[in-house]
C-alpha cells in the first residue's frame, strides 16, 4: 500500500488557536474536557463499528465452512455433478485446490521477475527518461479493476489459444500482481542508502553486481513482503478468472491439462457454488471461503513475520 | 549469461572494464525491458479495450454510447448510462458511508490507542483489507440479504405503504438484492483501505506540529483538530479518492448482491447494476457480436473512469507533497 | 538428464493418449443432468474419459461454440439461420442441434398464504412481465383464480440477468401469446426487460423469488421443486390448464418435428402438453475437425461415443433427477445427425454408430 506523503507544511499554523483557548475559566475548561472525552467515545465507537462487522464476516465464514473443511473428501475428491452431493456420494474440491496452486504459482513465476525488474529500473536508474511514464502507468495499472485485466488476458491468450486455460488465468492474475510488486520493490530499494551502492562501486564491482549482490539482498525482506501482499491480493480475485481459467468439475486428466485446459480455482468456484440452488453446494462454498481466508491470512502472517525479522536485525 | 561473465571476469583481469561495461549494459537492457513490459501492458490494456469495443463506438458515437439509456441485445441497442449511474451511486455512497468511521479508526489507532491496542487494530484492519470479494459476497447472500430484507427493507416499505405513499417510487419494491445492500457491502470492503491510507497520513504529521498545539494547552482532540488533521488533510483526501477508485472497480461482491437490473430508474430497495457487474454477468454469455463488443466498450469507459480517478489522486498527492518527497 | 526429460515427455504423451478430456459449456438448466452424465460416464469408461461441462448459460454455450473454445455447446435456444450461416462461412460447415433433454419453464412466485397451483394464462403473464399488472389483487389474476385469497402485495418481477435459454423459452411463449409483448420485447436469450430484478442463472432467480414476498419469476421445474418454491399452472392453446410435470413436458414435444429438430414447442398444439417447454440441444459441428477445440481424431471419437451414450443409456439418469427423457422420435433424429458427422472426411459418426450396433 502506498504511503501517502505528508500534506503541505504551511497548512494550519498551530498558532491559530480556538476561540477562548487563552481565557481559561473553569466552565470553559470543563466544556473542553467534556468535548475531549466525547470525541474519545466517538472514536472508540467508530473503531467498533468498523471492526465488528468485518469480524462478524470472518466468524460466519468460519462457523459455516468448518464442517465442510474438516472432511477428508473435501481435499481428495473432485466436485462432479450436484447429484453426487445430493445423494451423499463423495464430493470435494481437491481439483479446485490443486488448480488454484498451479494458477497462483505460475502467476507468481510470471509476475515476480517482471515486477522486481521494473522496480529496479525505477530505483536504480532514477534518471532514465522513461521512468516518469513507467511510474504513472504502473500506478494506473494498479488502480485498474481486476476484471479489465481479465478481459485483456482473454483477448491476448484465450482467443489465440482457442481455449480457456490455466495459463491464461495465471497471466490475468500476474497482471494483478505486477504493479504491486513493482511499486513495493521500488519503495524498498530506495530506502537502501546510496552509500552502500557507492561502497560497492568503489570496490570495483560492476553496477549490475552491486544491485544483485548488495542492494537486493539488503532489501530482500521488503521485496518479499511486497510479493506476499501482491499474492494475497491476487489469490482472492475471481472476476478475471471467470473468462480465463473458466472452471472444471473434475481433476484434469493429465498434469499438462492444468496449464493448457480449463481449470478450477477457489474464488471462481466459490462464486458458482454460492449462487447454486443446492444446500450441499452452499456448504462447500463456505468451505471454499474458509480455505481462501486461511490462504490470505497465512500469507498475511507471513508478511508480518518477515517484517518483524527485519526489525529484529535492525536492532 | 551473467554467470559466464562472472567467471571470465575472474580469469581475465586486464580486460575487466570492458566486460564490466558489457555486463552493465546487458543488465540495464534486461531491467529496462522488464520495465517497458509494464508500460506496454498498460498501453495494451487501453488498446485492446478500445479496438475490441470499437464497433459500438462507431455505431452509437462516444457520447451516444455514454448517455444511451437502453441496453437491449435483442434489438442491438446499447448504452452504458444505467451502469455508469449505478457505478457512481454505489461508489460515492459507499465512500460517504465509510469515510468518517474510517477516519475515526485511523485517528484512534494513530493518536489515542496505547501501542499494543493500536498494533492489534492495525493488524485487523490490514488483514480485513485482504478478505476476498467473493468471500464477502457469499456472506452477503446468506447472511446480510435475509437480515436486511426482514428487518429493514420490508418494514420500511410497509411503513411507507401506509404512511408515506409518496416515498414508494423512490424506495421501489423491496428485493433483498438492491442498491442499499451493494452500498453497505462496498462500504465494508473499502473501509480498511481508507483507514490504512488515512492512518499513514496522520502518522507522517511531524511531532513538532502536535507539540506546538499541546504547548498552547490544547486538549488531545483540539490537537487533532487544529494541528494534525489540517496538516494531513490533503493526503487523507487523496487516500479517499483512491478508495473511490477501489469501489468503482469492485466486481464480485457487487455482482452477487446488486440485483442486476439494466433499466433505469434505479430505486433504493430495487435492483441496479454497475459497469463491472454487467461485464461479469454477460461477458461469457453474450451471443451477438455487438453485445460482446458493447461489453468491451463498457470496459473501455470503466478504464477511462478509473484512469481519471487515479490521476486525480496522484495529482493531489503530488501537489500536496512536501519538499520533493512526492511519490 | 536429457534421457530423463525424454522419458518424462513420452510418459506425458502416453498419458494424454490414454486419457481424454471433453470440454463443453452452455445452458444452466441441463447442467445437473449433463454433469451427472459426466460422473457416470467416467465410471463407465473406467476413469478414461472426463467430460468437463461448465454451466454458463445458453448464450454462452452458443458463443463459445461459435468461437470454437469448447467441443460441444449446450443451449435451450437452437442456432438460428444467421448463426448457422456464420458458422458455415467461418469454415465450420453444418452445425447440428441434438436434443438431449426437454426443458420446461414454470412461473414461480412467493405469496404468503398461497400454495402452488395458481392459474395463469399467457396474456396475464405477459401483462405482468410488461409491468402493466402491478399488484396481486388485480382482477385479471383474480378471475383466473376464483376462491383464492390474493394478498394485495405489489408484484416484483424477477428475470435472468444472463443470456439464457430459459429466457428464450419463456419469452418465446410470451411472444406467441401476446402481440403487445411481441411488439415491445420479442424473444431471445437476453432481452430488454420492461421491468424487474435480474438474477444470475436459474439459481439466482430462484434465490430472489424465495426471499421476496410478492415476487414472480420463471424457473425450470427442477429448480422450483428442488428449492420448494410455489409454481403456477398454465393454460395451453387448447384451453386446458396444465400442471407442469415431466409427462406434460414430454407431451409438448409430441408434434411433427423437422429433421434438424430446430423447433420451438412453446404454445404447443398438443392438447395435454405443457405450453412453456422446449428442447435443450447439444451443439456439434458436422466436420468435427473444423472445431478448433478438437485437436485429434481420438478426441472426436470419444466425443461421439459420449454423445451416443448420453442420448441412449445416459437417458436413464434423467427421470430420477427430474428431467424429461427425449421421445423415441427425437432419438432417431439424433442418430441420423450423428451418422453424418465426419473427422477429416472420415465417416467417424457412422463408424461409432456401427460399433455400438446402431
B24 and B102 co-located in one domain: no
**Res. A313: pLDDT tops 70:** no
Average pLDDT over residues A216-243: 88
Q: Please, are residues C129 and C195 in contact by the beta-carbon 8 Å criterion? A: yes
Q: How far is C257 from chain A (nearest CA, A)?
A: 31
Q: Pairing mode, if any, of strands C197-199 and C156-160?
A: parallel
Helix (H, G, I), strand (E, B) or coil at C243: coil
Average pLDDT over residues A304-314: 64
Contacts of B269 (CB under 8 A, 6+ apart): B153, B156, B157, B171, B172, B173, B174, B175, B178, B179, B180
Are C50 and A250 inside 8 Å of each other by CB?
A: yes
| Count of other CB atoms within 10 angstroms of residue C258 | 8
**Res. C48: pLDDT tops 50:** yes
Are C23 and A250 inside 8 Å of each other by CB?
A: no
C221 and C243 co-located in one domain: yes
Which bin fits B274, alpha (ψ -120 to 50), beta or left (φ > 0)? beta
Per-residue pLDDT reduced to its tens digit, C288-336: 888 888 888 888 889 999 999 999 888 888 888 778 888 888 888 889 8
**Of C232, C258, C276, at which residue does a domain stop?**
C276
Q: Subunits with at least 3 CB pairs below 8 A relative to chain C?
A: A, B
Closest CA to A176 of A122, A241, A269, A223: A241
**Res. C211: pLDDT tops 80:** no
Note the pLDDT of residue C90.
75
**C86 in a domain, yes or no?**
yes
Q: Of A3-12, B108-117, B191-200, C24-33, where does mean pLDDT reach its minimum?
A: A3-12
Q: How far is B283 from chain C (nearest CA, A)?
A: 8
Note the pLDDT of residue A262.
86
Per-residue pLDDT reduced to its tens digit, B51-90: 988 888 888 888 988 888 888 777 778 888 989 999 999 9
Q: What is the DSSP string of B4-63?
A: HHHHHHHH-GGGHHHHHHHHHHHHHHHHHHHHHHHHHHHHHHHHHHHHHTHHHHHHH-HH
Percentages of chain C per state (helix, strand, coil), in multiples of 5: 45, 20, 35
C165 and C306 co-located in one domain: no
**CA-based end-to-end distance of chain A:** 25
Note the pLDDT of residue A177.
93
Report which secondary-structure segment, H or E, holds B120: helix B115-129
Find chain C residues with C-beta within 8 A of B256's C-beta: 200
Q: Minimal Cα distance from B311: which residue of A?
A: A140
Note the pLDDT of residue A6.
43
What are the cell numbers at A301?
502472517
**B3 in a domain, yes or no?**
no
Q: How far is B293 from chain C (nearest CA, A)?
A: 13
| Count of other CB atoms within 10 angstroms of residue B309 | 21
Note the pLDDT of residue B20.
62
In total, the C-beta contacts within 8 angstroms joining chain A to chain C are 86
B183 and B285 co-located in one domain: yes
Q: What does the mean pLDDT of chain C come to?
A: 84
Contacts of B280 (CB under 8 A, 6+ apart): A147, A239, A242, B251, B252, B255
B137 and B175 co-located in one domain: yes
Q: Minimal Cα distance from C23: which residue of A?
A: A262
C70 and C205 co-located in one domain: no
- Within 66-95 of B, beta carbons closer than 8 Å to A belong to none
Q: Minimal Cα distance from B141: which residue of A?
A: A274
**Res. C353: pLDDT tops 90:** no
Average pLDDT over residues C261-288: 87
Average pLDDT over residues B253-280: 82
Give the residue extent of every domain in chain A.
26-69, 73-314
Find chain A residues with C-beta within 8 A of B48's C-beta: 151-152, 155-156
Where does the pLDDT of residue A22 fall: very low under 50, low under 70, confident under 90, or very high at 90 and above? low
Per-residue pLDDT reduced to its tens digit, B172-211: 767 778 888 999 999 988 998 899 888 888 888 888 888 8
B78 and B203 co-located in one domain: yes
Are C211 and B173 inside 8 Å of each other by CB?
A: no
Contacts of C43 (CB under 8 A, 6+ apart): none
Where does the pLDDT of residue B18 fall: very low under 50, low under 70, confident under 90, or very high at 90 and above? low
**C7 in a domain, yes or no?**
no
Note the pLDDT of residue B301.
92
Q: Please, are residues C303 and C227 in contact by the beta-carbon 8 Å criterion? A: no
Closest CA to A171 of A156, A189, A159: A156
Where does the pLDDT of residue A112 fall: very low under 50, low under 70, confident under 90, or very high at 90 and above? very high
The range of the structural domain enclosing residue B309 comes to 53-326
Average pLDDT over residues C190-194: 83
Q: Which residue has better confidence, B8 or A290?
A: A290
Average pLDDT over residues C58-65: 84
C231 and C175 co-located in one domain: yes
Are B285 and C59 inside 8 Å of each other by CB?
A: yes
Note the pLDDT of residue B8.
40
- Within 136-165 of A, beta carbons closer than 8 Å to C belong to 158-159, 162-164
Where does the pLDDT of residue C2 fall: very low under 50, low under 70, confident under 90, or very high at 90 and above? low
Q: Please, are residues C252 and C280 in contact by the beta-carbon 8 Å criterion? A: no
C81 and C224 co-located in one domain: no
Q: Locate cell 465488528: which residue?
A: A52
Architecture in CATH for domain A73-314: Orthogonal Bundle (1.10)
B298 and B154 co-located in one domain: yes
C56 and C183 co-located in one domain: no
Percent of chain C, pLDDT > 70?
Answer: 94
Q: Which residue has better confidence, B165 or A241?
A: A241
B173 and B42 co-located in one domain: no
**Res. A215: pLDDT tops 90:** no
Q: Is the ipTM of this complex over 0.85?
A: no
Per-residue pLDDT reduced to its tens digit, B210-221: 888 888 878 888
Average pLDDT over residues C142-153: 86
**C40 in a domain, yes or no?**
yes
Q: Locate cell 430484507: which residue?
A: B149
Per-residue pLDDT reduced to its tens digit, A124-135: 888 888 888 898
Establish if A278 touches chain B: CB-CB under 8 angstroms. no
**Res. B13: pLDDT tops 50:** no
B69 and B176 co-located in one domain: yes
Q: Residue C269 class from Cβ within 10 Å (0-12 exposed, 13-18 middle, 19+ buried)?
A: middle
Closest CA to C38 of C303, C356, C223: C303
**Res. B322: pLDDT tops 50:** no
Residue B260: which of C62, C189, C199 has the nearest Cβ? C199
**Res. C114: pLDDT tops 80:** yes
**Res. B326: pLDDT tops 60:** no
Q: Please, are residues B99 and B194 in contact by the beta-carbon 8 Å criterion? A: yes
Note the pLDDT of residue A102.
92
Q: Please, are residues A272 and A289 in contact by the beta-carbon 8 Å criterion? A: no
Average pLDDT over residues B26-53: 89
Whether residue B265 has a cis bond before it, omega within 30° of 0: yes
Tell me the whole-structure pTM to 2 decimals.
Answer: 0.83
Per-residue pLDDT reduced to its tens digit, A28-86: 788 888 888 888 888 888 888 888 887 898 899 999 988 888 888 888 888 887 778 77
Percent of chain A, pLDDT > 70?
Answer: 90
Find chain C residues with C-beta within 8 A of A163's C-beta: 23, 69-70, 292-293
The range of the structural domain enclosing residue C216 comes to 104-276
d(CA C53, CA C55) in angstroms, rounded, equals 7
Look at chain B and report how many structural domains it folds into: 2
The alpha carbon of residue C176 and the mean position of all alpha carbons in its chain are separated, in whole angstroms, by: 19
Report which secondary-structure segment, H or E, holds C108: strand C95-109
Which bin fits B76, alpha (ψ -120 to 50), beta or left (φ > 0)? left
Which bin fits C57, alpha (ψ -120 to 50), beta or left (φ > 0)? left
> CATH code at C112?
3.40.190.10
Q: DSSP label at B145?
A: H
Mutate to test the interface with B, among C66, C170, C198, C199 (most CBs of B within 10 A): C198
Q: What is the DSSP string of A211-232?
A: IIIIIHHHTHHHHHHHHHHHHH
Q: Minimal Cα distance from C159: which residue of B?
A: B261
Q: Minimal Cα distance from C55: which residue of A?
A: A272
Per-residue pLDDT reduced to its tens digit, C235-249: 988 888 989 988 888
Where does the pLDDT of residue A10 fall: very low under 50, low under 70, confident under 90, or very high at 90 and above? very low
Q: What does the mean pLDDT of chain A come to?
A: 83
d(CA A117, CA B141) in angstroms, rounded, equals 42
Distances (CA, A) of C269 to A127, C254, C264: 79, 9, 11
Q: Please, are residues C77 and C62 in contact by the beta-carbon 8 Å criterion? A: yes
**Of C276, C298, C330, at which residue does a domain stop?**
C276
Q: What is the DSSP string of B160-228?
A: HHHH-GGGHHHH-S--SSSHHHHHHHHHHHHHHHHHHHHHHHHHTS-HHHHHHHHHTT--HHHHIIIII
C217 and C304 co-located in one domain: no
**Of C276, C311, C329, at which residue does a domain stop?**
C276
d(CA A57, CA A71) in angstroms, rounded, equals 22
Per-residue pLDDT reduced to its tens digit, B274-310: 999 888 888 877 777 888 889 989 999 999 998 899 8
Q: Minimal Cα distance from B146: which residue of C?
A: C211
**B7 in a domain, yes or no?**
no
d(CA A197, CA A125) in angstroms, rounded, equals 12
C271 and C289 co-located in one domain: no
Helix (H, G, I), strand (E, B) or coil at C276: coil
Establish if A244 touches chain C: CB-CB under 8 angstroms. no
CA dihedral A241, C58, C285, A152 (to 10 degrees): -30
Give me Rg for the CA atoms of chain B.
26
Average pLDDT over residues A224-231: 89
Q: Please, are residues A4 and B238 in contact by the beta-carbon 8 Å criterion? A: yes
Where does the pLDDT of residue A9 fall: very low under 50, low under 70, confident under 90, or very high at 90 and above? very low
C154 and C272 co-located in one domain: yes
Q: How far is C100 from chain B (nearest CA, A)?
A: 20
Mutate to test the interface with B, among C79, C212, C213, C215 (most CBs of B within 10 A): C212
Q: Please, are residues C190 and B285 in contact by the beta-carbon 8 Å criterion? A: yes
> CATH code at B199?
1.10.3720.10
Note the pLDDT of residue A275.
78
Look at chain C and report how many structural domains it folds into: 2
Amino acid at each position: 500500500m502506498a504511503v501517502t506523503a505528508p500534506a503541505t507544511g504551511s497548512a494550519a499554523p498551530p498558532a491559530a488557536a480556538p476561540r477562548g483557548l487563552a481565557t481559561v475559566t473553569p466552565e470553559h475548561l470543563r466544556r473542553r474536557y467534556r468535548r475531549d472525552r466525547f470525541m474519545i467515545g466517538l472514536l472508540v465507537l467508530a473503531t467498533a463499528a468498523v471492526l465488528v462487522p468485518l469480524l462478524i464476516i470472518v466468524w460466519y465464514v468460519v462457523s459455516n465452512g468448518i464442517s465442510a473443511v474438516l472432511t477428508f473428501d473435501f481435499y481428495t475428491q473432485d466436485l462432479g455433478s450436484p447429484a453426487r452431493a445430493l445423494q451423499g456420494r463423495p464430493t470435494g474440491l481437491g481439483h479446485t485446490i490443486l488448480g488454484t496452486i498451479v494458477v497462483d504459482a505460475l502467476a507468481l513465476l510470471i509476475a515476480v521477475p517482471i515486477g522486481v525488474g521494473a522496480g529496479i529500473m525505477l530505483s536504480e536508474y532514477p534518471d532514465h527518461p522513461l521512468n516518469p511514464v513507467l511510474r504513472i502507468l504502473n500506478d494506473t495499472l494498479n488502480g485498474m479493476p481486476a476484471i479489465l485485466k481479465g478481459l485483456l488476458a482473454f483477448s491476448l491468450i484465450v482467443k489465440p489459444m482457442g481455449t480457456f486455460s490455466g495459463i491464461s488465468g495465471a497471466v490475468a492474475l500476474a497482471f494483478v500482481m505486477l504493479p504491486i510488486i513493482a511499486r513495493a520493490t521500488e519503495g524498498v530499494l530506495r530506502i537502501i542508502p546510496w552509500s552502500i551502492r557507492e561502497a560497492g562501486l568503489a570496490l570495483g564491482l560492476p553496477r549490475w553486481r552491486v544491485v544483485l549482490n548488495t542492494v537486493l539482498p539488503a532489501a530482500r525482506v521488503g521485496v518479499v513482503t511486497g510479493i506476499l501482499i501482491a499474492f494475497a491480493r491476487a489469490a482472492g480475485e475471481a472476476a478475471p478468472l471467470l473468462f480465463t481459467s473458466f472452471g472444471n468439475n473434475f481433476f484434469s486428466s493429465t498434469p499438462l491439462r492444468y496449464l493448457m485446459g480449463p481449470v478450477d480455482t477457489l474464488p471462481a468456484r466459490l462464486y458458482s457454488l454460492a449462487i447454486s440452488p443446492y444446500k450441499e453446494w452452499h456448504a462447500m462454498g463456505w468451505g471454499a471461503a474458509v480455505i481462501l481466508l486461511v490462504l490470505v491470512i497465512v500469507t498475511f502472517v507471513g508478511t508480518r513475520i518477515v517484517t518483524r525479522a527485519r526489525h529484529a536485525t535492525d536492532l | 549469461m551473467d554467470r559466464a561473465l562472472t567467471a571470465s571476469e575472474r580469469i581475465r583481469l586486464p580486460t575487466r572494464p570492458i566486460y564490466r561495461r558489457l555486463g552493465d549494459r546487458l543488465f540495464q537492457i534486461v531491467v529496462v525491458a522488464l520495465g517497458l513490459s509494464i508500460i506496454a501492458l498498460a498501453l495494451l490494456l487501453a488498446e485492446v479495450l478500445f479496438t475490441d469495443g470499437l464497433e459500438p463506438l462507431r455505431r452509437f458515437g462516444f457520447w451516444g454510447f455514454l448517455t444511451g439509456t437502453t441496453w437491449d441485445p435483442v434489438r442491438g441497442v446499447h448504452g452504458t448510462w444505467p451502469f455508469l449511474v449505478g457505478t457512481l451511486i454505489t461508489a460515492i455512497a459507499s465512500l460517504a458511508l465509510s469515510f468518517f468511521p474510517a477516519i475515526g479508526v485511523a485517528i484512534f489507532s494513530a493518536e489515542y490507542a496505547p501501542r499494543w491496542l493500536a498494533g492489534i487494530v492495525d493488524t485487523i484492519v490490514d488483514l480485513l483489507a485482504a478478505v476476498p470479494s467473493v468471500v464477502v459476497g457469499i456472506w452477503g447472500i446468506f447472511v446480510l440479504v435475509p437480515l436486511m430484507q426482514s428487518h429493514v427493507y420490508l418494514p420500511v416499505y410497509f411503513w411507507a405503504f401506509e404512511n408515506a405513499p409518496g416515498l414508494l417510487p423512490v424506495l421501489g419494491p423491496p428485493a433483498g438484492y438492491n442498491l442499499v445492500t451493494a452500498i453497505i457491502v462496498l462500504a465494508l470492503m473499502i473501509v480498511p483501505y481508507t483507514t490504512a491510507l488515512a492512518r499513514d497520513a496522520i502518522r507522517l504529521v511531524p511531532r513538532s506540529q502536535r507539540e506546538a498545539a499541546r504547548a498552547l494547552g490544547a486538549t488531545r482532540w483540539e490537537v487533532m483538530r487544529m494541528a494534525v488533521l489540517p496538516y494531513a488533510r490533503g493526503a487523507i483526501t487523496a487516500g479517499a479518492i483512491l478508495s473511490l477508485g477501489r469501489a468503482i472497480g469492485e466486481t464480485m461482491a457487487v455482482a452477487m448482491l446488486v440485483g442486476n437490473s439494466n433499466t433505469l430508474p434505479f430505486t433504493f430497495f430495487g435492483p441496479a447494476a454497475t459497469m463491472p457487474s454487467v461485464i461479469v454477468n454477460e461477458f461469457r454469455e453474450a451471443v451477438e457480436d455487438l453485445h460482446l463488443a458493447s461489453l468491451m466498450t463498457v470496459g473501455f469507459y470503466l478504464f477511462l473512469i478509473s484512469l481519471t480517478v487515479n490521476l486525480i489522486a496522484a495529482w493531489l498527492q503530488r501537489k500536496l507533497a512536501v519538499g520533493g518527497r512526492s511519490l | 538428464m536429457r534421457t530423463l526429460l525424454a522419458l518424462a515427455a513420452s510418459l506425458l504423451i502416453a498419458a494424454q493418449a490414454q486419457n481424454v478430456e471433453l470440454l463443453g459449456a452452455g445452458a444452466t438448466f441441463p447442467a445437473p443432468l449433463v454433469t451427472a452424465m459426466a460422473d457416470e460416464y467416467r465410471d463407465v469408461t473406467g476413469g478414461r474419459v472426463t467430460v468437463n461441462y461448465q454451466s454458463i448459460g445458453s448464450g454462452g454455450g452458443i458463443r463459445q461454440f461459435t468461437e470454437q473454445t469448447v467441443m460441444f455447446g449446450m443451449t435451450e435456444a437452437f442456432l438460428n439461420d444467421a448463426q448457422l450461416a456464420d458458422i458455415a462461412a467461418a469454415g465450420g460447415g453444418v452445425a447440428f442441434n441434438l436434443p438431449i433433454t426437454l426443458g420446461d419453464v414454470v412461473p414461480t412466485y412467493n405469496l404468503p398464504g398461497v400454495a402452488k397451483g395458481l392459474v395463469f394464462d399467457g396474456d396475464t403473464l405477459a401483462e405482468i412481465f410488461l409491468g402493466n399488472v402491478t399488484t396481486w389483487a388485480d382482477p385479471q389474476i383474480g378471475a383466473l383464480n376464483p376462491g383464492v385469497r390474493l394478498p394485495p402485495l405489489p408484484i416484483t418481477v424477477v428475470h435472468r440477468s444472463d443470456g439464457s435459454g430459459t429466457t428464450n423459452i419463456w419469452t418465446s411463449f410470451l411472444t406467441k401469446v401476446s402481440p403487445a409483448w411481441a411488439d415491445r420485447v420479442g424473444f431471445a436469450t437476453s432481452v430488454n426487460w420492461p421491468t424487474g430484478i435480474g438474477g444470475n442463472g436459474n439459481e439466482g432467480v430462484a434465490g430472489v423469488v424465495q426471499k421476496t414476498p410478492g415476487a414472480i419469476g420463471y424457473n425450470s421445474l427442477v429448480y422450483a421443486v428442488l428449492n420448494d418454491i410455489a409454481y403456477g399452472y398454465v393454460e395451453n392453446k387448447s384451453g386446458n390448464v396444465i400442471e407442469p410435470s415431466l409427462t406434460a413436458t414430454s407431451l409438448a414435444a409430441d408434434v411433427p418435428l423437422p429433421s434438424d429438430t430446430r423447433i420451438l414447442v412453446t404454445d404447443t398444439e398438443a392438447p395435454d402438453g405443457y405450453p412453456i417447454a422446449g428442447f435443450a440441444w447439444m451443439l456439434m459441428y458436422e466436420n468435427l475437425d473444423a472445431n478448433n477445440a478438437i485437436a485429434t481424431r481420438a478426441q472426436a471419437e470419444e466425443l461421439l461415443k459420449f454423445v451416443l451414450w448420453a442420448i441412449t443409456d445416459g437417458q436413464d439418469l434423467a427421470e430420477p433427477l427430474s428431467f424429461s427423457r427425449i421421445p423415441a422420435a427425437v432419438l432417431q433424429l439424433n442418430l441420423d445427425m450423428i451418422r453424418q458427422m465426419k473427422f477429416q472426411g472420415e465417416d467417424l459418426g457412422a463408424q461409432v454408430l456401427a460399433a455400438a450396433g446402431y
